[in-house]
Amino acid sequence: MKIRYRYWACQLGGWGLFTYLWNNIRAGDGFAFRTDVFGDTDFYSAWFIGVLSTHLLYLYLRKQQLQRYRLGAVFMKVWGAVTLSSLLIVLWLSGISIAEDGGWHNFFSSADKSLKNTGGLETPVAIGLIFLAVWFVWHLVVWAWVILYFSLLQGRFKRIELENENRLKQAELDNLKTKLNPHFLFNALSSIRSLIGENPGRAQQAVAELAEVLRSAMLSEHHQLIPFGKELEVVQHYLAIEKIRFEERLNVHYTIDPAIHTQTMPPMLLQTLVENAIKHGISKLAAGGEIRIAAVLEGKQFVLRVENTGQVSEERSGGGFGIQGTLKRLALLYGNKAFFTLHNTAQQTVCATVKLPAA
């Protein structure tokens, strides 16, 4: 249902219900559900006046754009509008009463007879006090309408704000993914290119492994989170390519808890850490080295560790685009619930650790 239709449904339904309940109160009789009020013109008059006066108030709030602020921030402006709206309601209702009595003179005479036992107050004073009392009651009623109106609108604005934040976050994540995938592909193709002249047979084998990597990557293209088992398959195919390239210079060891294959994680996360380990670690060493990949549960955290032979300088500790993209993705997806560290160890290795909330 469109917003304007919901607004009118609430206006007509809300004021209709309020007026029905209000007209079912009888002095001395208490409250009871009666159907005779639907034959009373006062019921329809009050209904119409309530809808009209608050609609005018609504138009004022829209024109001044006050509904976009918290009620406390625009209280004085809203209070003035509520005062005028409630005064307008009382004046209209009073005018209807005067017209039903046949004019002001008849109304005053009728009030004079009804107010003989007011403790000596003159009729104009008594009428004025009653007018103020009725105005105060309607003042509270209109305030209730305003509070409800602001509450519903603020809730809607909050939802729109969250939806816009989610869209922005999704767009930024998609942008990072579109950059990470070519980044990975460039590294893989560079490895294969180096094999073409040296060993065409191994290059063909590497192309086959790359095809498997791309197939797995495409399956996770439209997901922000994938099972760890799927990510591990991509990494294993990628390492198979690099193993062809580095031969005995690259050794890989896995420490994987079988129970965590269903844990979810951002796609290309482990892949990026492994790429970083090879590009800035293994490929820099003439004798090569080893990569140790560990994935375990530590309490309520899912922990990934990639450790490679070598040392990282302070200038490189921030990482290249791959690491920076990883940090941004973790912040967007998990906020302050995810952690990333990259540091040298005493064993002359570099350890990259990612901690995610366990699924």
SS (H, E, C) 183-226: HHHHHHHHHHHHHHHHCHHHHHHHHHHHHHHHHHHHHCCCCCCE
Q: What are the pLDDT digits (tens) for 18-74?
A: 888 877 765 445 666 777 777 777 788 888 888 888 888 888 888 887 767 777 777
CB of 23 within 8 A of CB of 37? yes
Residues forming a β-bridge with 30: 26
pLDDT number for residue 6: 79
Q: List, in sequence order, every beta strand (DSSP E) within the chain.
A: 25-26, 30-31, 226-227, 250-256, 264-265, 289-298, 301-309, 339-344, 349-357
Residue 140: which residues within 8 A CB-CB, separation 6 or more? Answer: none
251 bridge partner residues: 290
Contact at 8 Å (CB) between 203 and 195?
yes
Global pTM reads: 0.53
CA distance 137 to 26: 17
Q: What is the pLDDT of residue 27?
A: 45
Q: Given this model, what pLDDT does residue 3 score?
A: 66
Question: How confident is residue 297, by pLDDT bands cut at 50, 70 and 90?
Answer: very high
